Chain A
Amino acid sequence: ETGVTQTPRHLVMGMTNKKSLKCEQHLGHNAMYWYKQSAKKPLELMFVYSLEERVENNSVPSRFSPECPNSSHLFLHLHTLQPEDSALYLCASSYSGGEQFFGPGTRLTVL
C-alpha cells in the first residue's frame, strides 16, 4: 500500500456513458497527477494539480475532465469516451515534486 487509493479498480462503460474515477491520498502531499497507461506505451501524463490548481494539461481531449476539490482528492470525469481510451488510469501524488506515490490504477474498458 502506497497511501494512494483509487476507485473503482475496474470499470466497463459504453461510449455514451458518464462515469468518474476517484483518487485519494492522505500523505500530506501537495501535488496530484493523472496518467494513462496503454499496452506497450510509456506512461502518459494527462493532468497535474499543484496546491489544488491545475498547472499542466497535456493536450488531453475534452471528454476527460479533471477535478481537484482539495489537496487529498482528485477526480477524472469521463464522458462520451472512445474504445481507444481503454487503458489503465493511474493517479499519483508527491510533495513539491520529487518521488511520486502511485495508486493501484483503474482498468477502464470502453465498449
Chain B
Amino acid sequence: SQKIEQNSEALNIQEGKTATLTCNYTNYSPAYLQWYRQDPGRGPVFLLLIRENEKEKRKERLKVTFDTTLKQSLFHITASQPADSATYLCALADRSSNTGKLIFGQGTTLQVKP
C-alpha cells in the first residue's frame, strides 16, 4: 500500500540546536517533495520544494535532502528559535498525477525551548 509517514511524536529541542524531521514514503514515485509549516488554527505555508533529481536544497536556516533510494526526505532547521515551533508537513507529488495533487504526511510538531 502507499504510505507517507512522518514522526508522529513531537520533537522537543533546545534553542540554538538543529532540528531534524523525517519523511518516509512507500510505493510512490515522487516527481518532487515539498515541506510546509502549519501553525495552530491556520493553513499550511510553503517552505521548500525539492525535485527527484536534486539531493539537497537550502533556504536561509532551512535545508532539505531527498534520497530516492532510501525513499526519504530530511528537513533541517539550524540555529533553531522558539518562533520555529510549529507543525511541519511533508507532501509529495506522484509522477502519475498531472493535476498538481499532493499527498501529505500527518506532520511532526516541533517545540523549541528557550
**Interface residue ranges, A against B (CB under 8 Å):** 2, 4, 31, 33, 40-43, 45, 48, 50, 55-56, 88, 90, 92, 94, 96-105, 107
Task: Enumerate chain B residues within 8 angstroms of A104, measured Cβ to Cβ.
Answer: 41-43
Count class of interface residues, chain B: 20 to 34
Q: List 22 A-B contacts (CB under 8 A).
A: A2-B43, A31-B99, A41-B106, A42-B4, A42-B104, A42-B105, A42-B106, A43-B44, A43-B89, A45-B101, A48-B99, A50-B100, A56-B99, A94-B100, A96-B100, A97-B93, A97-B99, A97-B100, A100-B34, A102-B45, A104-B42, A105-B43
Q: Which of A2, A42, A50, A103 has its CB near the most chain B CB atoms (within 10 A)?
A: A42
Cβ-defined partner of B107 (8 Å) among A33, A42, A94, A99: A42
Query: Nearest 4 CB-CB pairs, A to B?
Result: A97-B100, A102-B43, A43-B104, A99-B46
Per a CB cutoff under 8 Å, which of B34, B44, B101 touches A56?
Answer: B101
Complex Cα gap A99–B44 (Å): 11
B49 proximal to A (CB < 8 A): yes
**Is the C-beta of B62 less than 8 angstroms from some C-beta in chain A?**
no
> With contacts defined as CB atoms under 8 Å apart, how many contacts are there between chain A and chain B in the complex?
61
**Which residue of A41, A88, A94, A99 has the most chain B CB atoms within 10 A of its CB atom?**
A99
Give chain A residues whose Cβ lies under 8 Å from the Cβ of B102: 45, 100
Q: Tell me the nearest residue of chain B to A105, going by C-beta.
A: B43
Residue of B nearest to A29 (CB): B100
The one of A48, A56, A99, A107 in contact with B49, judged by C-beta atoms closer than 8 angstroms, is A99
Chain B residues in 8 Å Cβ range of A31: 99-100
| A-chain residues with CB within 8 Å of residue B34 when the two chains form the complex | 99-100
Query: Of B43, B49, B91, B106, which is in contact with the most chain A CB atoms at under 10 Å from its CB?
Result: B43
Closest to B31 in A: A97
Which residues 71-104 in B have Cβ within 8 Å of A in the complex? 89, 91, 93, 98-104
